Structure 1
Amino acid sequence: MLEELDIRNLGPIREATIAPAAGMTAITGETGAGKSMLLSAIRLVSGGAAESSRVSAGADEAWAQAIFALADDAVASEHSGDTNDAGDDAGSDDSDSGLTGAAAAVAKAHDAGVDPEDGELFLSRTVRASGRSRAVLGGKSVPRSVLGAIAGELVTIHGQTDQLKIAASSRQREFLDRVAGDEAELAAYRKAWDALAAMDERLERLRSQESSARQQADYLRESIDRINRIDPQPGEDEELKARRERIENAADIAQGVGSALGALDASQVDVDAADGASAVELINHAVTSLRAIRVGGAFAEQADRLESINADLGDVVFALSQELGDEGSVEDLDQINGRIHELGDLTRRWGPTLADVLAWRDKAAFDLEDLDASPEKVAELESERQTLYAAALAAADVLSAARVAAAADLGARVTEELGSLAMLGASLEVRVTPRDKADDPLGPYGRDDIAFLFTPFEGSPQLPMGKSASGGELSRLMLALELVAADTRGGADQTFIFDEVDAGVGGKAAVELGKRLARLARSAQVIVVTHLAQVASWADAQFVVTKEPPDADDDDLGVVTTIAEVNGETRVHEIARMLSGSESEASLDHARELLKESVL
């Protein structure tokens, strides 16, 4: 939910902080006081267009920040999803992953490199008087489209300019699917559709092959044959280079090893007696001399140490003796150089290592299957496609059945709600029809065309939403839709903001309107901008927007708007003002009575 909204230097609002209630919050005030600036602030942090003209007079920049508190399960769903990242499609969006609302917002923030802090997300926007703007998510600069994507999961604004989004068929489909609760059916269809789409892409690639593709196939085939003939082994070239180095330095190796062995143990090599005793002999002589001492203790210990050293020398002598005569011949060197040359040619073409060469060969073999577009191969894949298409069509039929049932119920229940919102004779029909495409009716989200058709009054022609209602009528229609969705599927895990929802409403209908907003606030956060006391009285919190003349010292700043929460008697006075424009005893008593009655 929206926990806090901070505004600085936006239009007539110099500084304001609003902490909406978890349930229903009413924003009230006289016409022209600046209530619309609150919506401007929400749109700003939601990635909306930045207008430098909205910066307060005399200020360098305007700033707005929204702090959203997230449910624990929304934050947990992102962290638990981290364990599955390796198996996910990096290009998949949150609608495909099944995440919605706060969980989807957390996932999108995570993709942008920001995680919630203490269960909160901070979205802010700065607009300079020069016209440039800066979007910030959790202290990190991001494209404003990122703010829009995240805020779109957390906030839904139902205002005259925002309503038109629901006119899009994709939004209507998403809303119907939410009410229908057809997540399982939609997921089953999307799995079948993705398999079909992958097959179509493969077939299209095969069918469109030209001479260049055949040349590529020839190149792959020849390359694979060449690699197979040489039959490289991982690391073989490095082993051969090490062996070549030994052969090329055979004389130095023989001389050095022979001299070392002669010095350590003359019995291992043909060493002239004039060379003197070897290290092993000398140590043995020392041991014998120490053992001959009849006094034990330190002399025996030193003899033991010398014997241990002699054992180590024996290991060294043995290892060096194995190196003699293992350098290879000139003929071996020629063969090794030839092999190294062959392997080097492979790594230059497909390396840089022999492991890379082998990996390239394996992938090339797979690619070659698709490039060899033989009639038999195409026929085989076309047969597989028919099976996949039948499966996708069957899944689409199941999804359509769920949508048709939900559409009839949604239309009837919304029509019933409209009658209680001062729109007698208005009705909504949710129409689900098979897509008019004989050759292939399937699409990414099924085979249905979905249309919300609204009749604003009896006798009016039935027209698509967005083209058949005023701003106030459309706001009340959206309220009815959200109410039915909340009653059907429970909380929406969102903040709903209603503007102009009370346009053209009064009397008993206004009370019913307020009651329904409060009902929606049981399962979601609701913020309503209203001029009707009958609506504001149902709110859990009420903020009043007031315009004040500037101080004498700051006359160049123009009118200043302030925002303050009203409680107790202060709220009674505001409700009384909204009722009659005055604060007489009669209007105050009426206000108290209205507040007392406005309880679900």
Structure 2
Amino acid sequence: MSQRPPAHLTRLEIRNLATVKALELDLRGGFSAFTGETGAGKSIIVDALGLLLGSRANTDLIRSGENDLLVSGFWGEDALSRKLTHQGRSSARVDGEVVSLRELADVSQSRLTIHWQHSAQSLLSAANQRALLDQLVASDLATYHAAYRAWQDAAGRLERLRTSGRDRARQLDLLRFQVGELAEAALQAGEEEPLQAELVRLSNVEAISSGAAGALELLSDGEVSAAGLIAEALRALNSPARYDEVLAQLQGELGAALDSVQAVAGELRSVAEDRAPDPEALEAVEGRLGLISKLRGKYGPALSDVLAFQVEAERELAALETDEHDAGSLEAEVDTLRARAAQVALSLRAARQQAAAPLAADLLRVIRELGMPHARLEFELRPLAAPGPHGSDDVSIRFTANPGEALGDLAETASGGELSRVMLAISTVLGAGTPSVVFDEVDAGIGGAAALAVAGQLARLADSRQVLVVTHLAQIAARADWHFKVEKDVEAGRTVSRVRLLSGPERLEEIARMLSGNTSEVALSHARELLAAGEKSATDKKKPKPSKTSLPVS
């Protein structure tokens, strides 16, 4: 039995992306941190994964002097890849098979989520805030959508009936004429090609007959003919064939050949005798082809388009005739469906209200753990004047991180760092939705105790999925199970980025550098404390160490 591929990303390969010449990066489950000095190229990892997710590709990403870039991600034996050329052409593959960019995105987005450096801004959208709550009431929302669509469809039909009677009558007359004309023509799919062939035959009857007569003369009717010569050959073999099996077999084959020639001659005779053109048949074929050409000119460039137009015209005519027939009851139906949608909208509101408080409490619990002990958060439902596509309420998140302050719209009350932590809380409570989740600079605008809290939350999130974090904070890097450093060097006059998996003294020095910019004894001592605290928090985790300790990019 074949094993299922690992749920998380196991390997990332990059070629000619920005300052990367070639990278082969082995990854494990749990929590991985990517650090490096400003400008080292930490974002390259996120950019590469973004290309696999179908993000828009700019040819500026291709390494200077190279013709293309290639990114490949592996989930065990499963492979996804994307290539971009300097001409702007992008190609994608799934397990080696060429696919569209949309198909690549469909596969990768089920496995990987990226929270970009500024993606927390998406929380400021009212639609996205409503969508968070609606994850918990999906069934009620689907019921409402069905009721709303039924109401809107009926209302659309009623609106068409309320348009000018003259316009509707004109449309009916036109459709009836078009449908009648096409029905009378009784077009058949694929009939045009055989008609063209028949037209060619009828237009060349004399040439066909003359050619058949000439062939007939040579085969059987001439003084010297193929049939006569074969018959003489058969007679010549009558006597010797009695003494030789080979000649007897050959004589039999000549006899079969004579039968075939005579059969062909019979067919040719009927063709040769049909010398006179058939004006009526020719006129009928020309008339049919003329009708098809006329209808193609009116309803479509090809016969298939004309037939498709006929189907749609019949559907529209039936709908208009039904509307006319049902005009008396349609208005009452719209009122009934409107009332039904309003009733279901109230049920949706009740479901949202029931889900809102527990969700807000769960989010708030995590947010307070992330260094905002006085934060308050709630989902506010504001009734609309009439039911809309998503119900009869506007949904928004009301938030404050400061004691004594009134709740306000998230966009007005949350700083960039607070917004990032709210996003992290949402990923924790509602789930990232994929086995692997990437955070790009989730630590923007935070430090101190808040940084420690975010680090702890990322570590807890890594208990259930693979977490990859690009960070500049030592507190977060110290909690990672795997610590990668992105470096930039100059080789042969070219800038080259490298990625190394750190361990032991190298990791200690990198944490110290992130803390104070140097590796003084004070910085190293502080780094040891952070690493010791991280190891203490992770004592219950048993993870195998990767086989590689250095993953250079050259």
Q: How does the TM-score come out when normalised to structure 2?
A: 0.68
Residue matched to 1:350 = 295
| Unmatched 5+ stretches in structure 2 | 1-7, 541-554
Kindly indicate whether the alpha-carbon contact (under 8 Å) linking 2:182 and 2:310 is maintained by their aligned counterparts in 1: yes
Q: Encode CA deviations 1:133-172: one digit per residue, 9 max, x unaligned.
A: 97966599x99xx99x98899443365x442221102222
Structure 2 distance, partners of 1:575, 1:276, is 109
Structure 1 distance, partners of 2:376, 2:116, is 19
Residue matched to 1:598 = 537
- The equivalent position to 1:414 in structure 2, one of 363, 380, 397, is 363
Shift of 1:373: 8.3
Residue matched to 1:75 = none
Letter in 1 for 2:31: M
> Is 1:241–2:199 an aligned residue pair?
yes
Letter in 2 for 1:38: K
Indicate the SS of the match to 1:503: coil
Letter in 1 for 2:244: G
Kindly indicate whether the alpha-carbon contact (under 8 Å) linking 1:15 and 1:562 is maintained by their aligned counterparts in 2: no
Indicate the SS of the match to 1:453: strand
- The equivalent position to 1:166 in structure 2, one of 108, 118, 123, is 123
Question: Relative to structure 1, is the Cα distance of residues 563 and 363 closer, same or farther in structure 2, using a 3 angstrom cutoff?
Answer: closer
Letter in 1 for 2:439: F
> Is 1:442–2:388 an aligned residue pair?
yes
Residue matched to 2:482 = 541
Shift of 1:61: 9.3
Q: Which moved more, 1:202-211 or 1:423-432?
A: 202-211
- The equivalent position to 1:568 in structure 2, one of 488, 504, 511, is 504
1:54-203 counterparts in 2 under 5 A? Answer: 69=73, 71=75, 119-122=79-82, 154-157=112-115, 159=117, 161-178=118-135, 180=136
Letter in 2 for 1:471: G
Kindly indicate whether the alpha-carbon contact (under 8 Å) linking 1:27 and 1:544 is maintained by their aligned counterparts in 2: yes
- The equivalent position to 1:514 in structure 2, one of 445, 455, 463, is 455
Shift of 1:468: 0.6
1:471-482 counterparts in 2 under 5 A? Answer: 471-482=416-427
Indicate the SS of the match to 2:388: coil
Structure 2 distance, partners of 1:65, 1:284, is 76
Kindly indicate whether the alpha-carbon contact (under 8 Å) linking 1:419 and 1:426 is maintained by their aligned counterparts in 2: yes
Letter in 2 for 1:264: S
Kindly indicate whether the alpha-carbon contact (under 8 Å) linking 1:400 and 1:448 is maintained by their aligned counterparts in 2: yes
- The equivalent position to 1:297 in structure 2, one of 239, 244, 247, is 244
Residue matched to 1:468 = 413
Structure 2 distance, partners of 1:308, 1:134, is 66
- The equivalent position to 1:583 in structure 2, one of 521, 525, 536, is 521
Q: Which moved more, 1:477-486 or 1:202-211?
A: 202-211
Structure 2 distance, partners of 1:586, 1:300, is 109
Question: Relative to structure 1, is the Cα distance of residues 238 and 544 closer, same or farther in structure 2, using a 3 angstrom cutoff?
Answer: closer
Q: How many residues align?
A: 506
Letter in 2 for 1:221: R
- The equivalent position to 2:373 in structure 1, one of 415, 424, 433, is 424
Shift of 1:516: 1.6
Letter in 2 for 1:406: A
- The equivalent position to 1:38 in structure 2, one of 36, 42, 48, is 42
Indicate the SS of the match to 2:399: strand
Shift of 1:412: 0.6
Residue matched to 2:314 = 365
Letter in 1 for 2:410: M
Letter in 1 for 2:79: G
Kindly indicate whether the alpha-carbon contact (under 8 Å) linking 1:44 and 1:125 is maintained by their aligned counterparts in 2: no
Indicate the SS of the match to 1:499: coil
Shift of 1:567: 1.8
Kindly indicate whether the alpha-carbon contact (under 8 Å) linking 2:15 and 2:71 is maintained by their aligned counterparts in 1: no
Kindly indicate whether the alpha-carbon contact (under 8 Å) linking 2:478 and 2:534 is maintained by their aligned counterparts in 1: yes
Question: Relative to structure 1, is the Cα distance of residues 64 and 189 closer, same or farther in structure 2, using a 3 angstrom cutoff?
Answer: farther
Percent of pairs with identical residues: 26
Alignment RMSD, CA only?
5.6
Question: Relative to structure 1, is the Cα distance of residues 324 and 188 closer, same or farther in structure 2, using a 3 angstrom cutoff?
Answer: farther
Indicate the SS of the match to 1:437: strand
Shift of 1:319: 2.7
Kindly indicate whether the alpha-carbon contact (under 8 Å) linking 1:9 and 1:15 is maintained by their aligned counterparts in 2: yes
Structure 2 distance, partners of 1:474, 1:174, is 17
Structure 2 distance, partners of 1:547, 1:294, is 94
Shift of 1:519: 0.4
Question: Relative to structure 1, is the Cα distance of residues 543 and 318 closer, same or farther in structure 2, using a 3 angstrom cutoff?
Answer: closer
- The equivalent position to 1:311 in structure 2, one of 259, 271, 291, is 259
| Unmatched 5+ stretches in structure 1 | 73-116, 127-132, 266-274
> Is 1:253–2:253 an aligned residue pair?
no
> Is 1:454–2:399 an aligned residue pair?
yes
Residue matched to 1:25 = 32
Kindly indicate whether the alpha-carbon contact (under 8 Å) linking 1:541 and 1:565 is maintained by their aligned counterparts in 2: yes
> Is 1:221–2:164 an aligned residue pair?
no
Structure 2 distance, partners of 1:153, 1:510, is 27
Indicate the SS of the match to 1:425: coil
Letter in 2 for 1:176: L
Shift of 1:420: 2.4
